[in-house]
Amino acid sequence: METLIQQVAVGLASGGIYACLALALVMIYQATHHVNFAQGEMAMFSTFVAWTLIQAGLGYWAAFFITVIGSFIASAAIEFAIIRPLHKAPELSVVAVFIGLLVIFHSVAGWVFGTELREFPSPFSKDAWFGGSLMSPHQVGTIFVALCIVAALFAFFRHTTLGLTMRAAAQNPGSSRLLGIRVGRMLMLGWGLAGAIGAVAGMMVAPVVFLDPGMMTGVLIYAFAGALIGGIDNPVGAIVGGFLVGVLENLLGTYVVGTDLKLTVALVLIVGVLIVRPAGLLGRRTVQRV
């Protein structure tokens, strides 16, 4: 029984990371109706940047904040320069560009930083008080960070005017423009936030799986699964979905299919959800009007 609880706890810790990344995916989807396939690789790249800063002598938190802010700016810039010009382009072209970005980030990371596994420090020291027999301090810390991000975003979107206008711009760009809302800026903001969240997710994952260019591909798949299960247009759903996937992945991986097939579990989950309930558990069922 204790191992079961432990597995659930570990699952929650990975789930926290998936939840963060899923949230980033949902935010971009809500704003643009596109899925950012490159989200994982961008997060991985940010983490490498952080690593470089730490290697250069910067303290962890300094590197952390610089990376997060840098990722925000870079993501916003990508939206402006590459994605925005395609807003009238067909779906396939946009997907192709996202894939192009994925490939570029993946490859450049390997080229600039090398492909060997590297250690990445955790801000939560091994002897911290909040660790225990169930979970390491890092795992507890990860869940805590994930929940903080969720809470902050929730407060931002529900209770600030900027959050309100961002939601409006995503939902109905035409009406928003007529109200004087600058939709383009809202899009950049959305991408920037997604990039920043991705960077945090990467920095939470790296201490566990070690840093290398392939670090985030699996995580991205799990995040997809989480976002879809929760409802691809629902931020709360993304969080719930992410945690759920983390727990399921761990439980099924430990007790049912073994670690080799864990990603397959994600695939089955994704396809399963999409067949049975495409709107996800908490998503809105959209009626397609003729």
Partner 1 sequence: MQLSSVTPSAGHGVERASTFMTLRNILILVVIAASLAFFAKGYVLFQATMVLAYAIALVGLNLLTGYNGQISLGHGAFFAIGAYSLAILMNWDVPYWLAIPAAGAISMVAGYAFGRPALKLQGLYLALATFTLSVVLPQLLKYKLFQPWTGGVGGIVIIKPDAPFGIPLTSDQFCYLFTLLVTAVMFVIARNLIDSGTGRAMRAIRDHQMAATSMGINHQHYKSMTFGVSAAFAGVGGSLSALAVQFVSPDSFTMFLSISLLVGVVVGGVGTLWGALFGAVFIMFVPELAEKVSKDAAWAVYGLVLILLVFAMPKGVMGLINRLHSKSVARNV
Partner 2 sequence: MTRLLEVRNLHASYGATEVLHGIDLDVEEGQVVTLLGANGAGKTTTLRALCHFQVKNAGSITYRGERIEGKSTEDIAAMGIGHVPDGRGTFQSMSVEENLRLGCHARKDRIAVATDLDRMYDYFPRLKERRAQQAGTLSGGEQQMLAIARALMGNPTLLLLDEPSFGLAPLVVKDIFAIMRRIREEQKVSILLVEQNARIALQLADTAYLLETGRIVKHGPSEAMRNDDAVRRAYLGE
Secondary structure of the chain as H, E, C letters: CHHHHHHHHHHHHHHHHHHHHHHHHHHHHHHHCCCCCCHHHHHHHHHHHHHHHHHCCCCHHHHHHHHHHHHHHHHHHHHHHHHHHHCCCCHHHHHHHHHHHHHHHHHHHHHHHCCCCECCCCCCCCCCCCCCCCCCHHHHHHHHHHHHHHHHHHHHHHHCHHHHHHHHHHHCHHHHHHCCCCHHHHHHHHHHHHHHHHHHHHHHHHHHHCECCCHHHHHHHHHHHHHHHHCCCCHHHHHHHHHHHHHHHHHHHHHHHCHHHHHHHHHHHHHHHHHHCCCCCCCCCCCCCC
Interface positions, 32-71, toward partner 1 (CB under 8 A)? 33-35, 37
Interface positions, 142-171, toward partner 2 (CB under 8 A)? 161, 164-165, 167-168, 171
- Under rule CB under 8 A, residue 178 binds partner 2: yes
Residues touching partner 2, count (CB under 8 A): 17
- Under rule CB under 8 A, residue 251 binds partner 2: no
Residue 35 interacting entry, from partner 1, partner 2, none, C-beta within 5 to 8 Å by type: partner 1
Which residue, 8 or 263, is less far from partner 1 as judged by CB? 263
**Near partner 1 by CB under 8 A, which window of 7-15, 105-113, 184-192, 242-250?**
105-113
Binding footprint of partner 2 on the chain (CB under 8 A): 161, 164-165, 167-168, 171-172, 174-182, 284
What residue ranges bind partner 1 (CB under 8 A)? 33-35, 37, 82, 85-86, 89-93, 95-97, 99-104, 106-108, 110-111, 217-218, 221, 224-225, 228, 232, 260-261, 263-264, 266-267, 270-271, 274-275, 278, 288-290
